[in-house]
Structure formats: C-alpha cells, structure tokens
Amino acid sequence: QVQLVESGGGLVQAGGSMRLSCVASGMYYALNTLGWYRQAPGKQRELVAAITHGGTSKSADSVKDRFTISRDNAKNTVYLQMNSLKPEDTAMYYCNADELYELTRPGPNWGQGTQVTVSS
C-alpha cells in the first residue's frame, strides 16, 4: 500500500495564494496518476486536478484558470499551486494516487486531507 501525506493547508485571505504538497511513500509499483480532490461540508467530494506520470493533466472548470497541478517524480511528490483564492474554495483537500492511468475517477489511495480556509 501507498501512504499519502498532505501539507500546506491553512487560513488565507481571499485573493491570496497557497501551495499544497503531497508526498507518497510505502510499497507500490508505480503511481501513474496523482490528483487532488476537495470536499466542503454538505458537498460531494469533487476532482480539483489530476496529473499522470508523463505530465498530462486535467483540472475542474472552476479552478483551471487559477490552480496549477505539478509533480516531481524523483521526490514522489505532487503539488497544487492555488492562486486568486475565493471563499468557495474553502474545503478539505485530499491527495489521491492510482497505479492506473485515470484522470477522471479517483484511485483507491487517499491521504488524510489538509484543510484550506479562505476568508472574505
């Protein structure tokens, strides 16, 4: 199994920026796809962005002009750069990993989550 540990969350003012990090460790063959999902209270968990080992990425329409996903394969780390943050971005952000190529549906491996709160 793979362990995923997120970091970088916290409180930020609307219009500000924040970068989330997720480090993968443990026993696995390959992490073809890494992604970020978020869930706000009373809302469905939704895809924020996902990226393959080769760098192909997909982002939700609500964040594609403001957020950028990237990964450092040598460090087994995926990042989410968030700019121009809005109060509606407030949610628990979860890291996800899949050994398969899949940019739409999440894989079976989840991190514990990191809270992002955007104040108005």
C-alpha–C-alpha distance, residues 58 and 32, integer Å:
14
Length of the chain: 120
What is the model's pLDDT at position 102?
A: 87
C-alpha–C-alpha distance, residues 89 and 72, integer Å:
25
**What is the tens place of the pLDDT at every residue in 83-110?**
999 999 999 999 999 999 989 999 999 9
- Say if residues 73 and 53 touch (Cβ distance below 8 Å): yes
Which residue stretches of the chain have pLDDT < 50? none
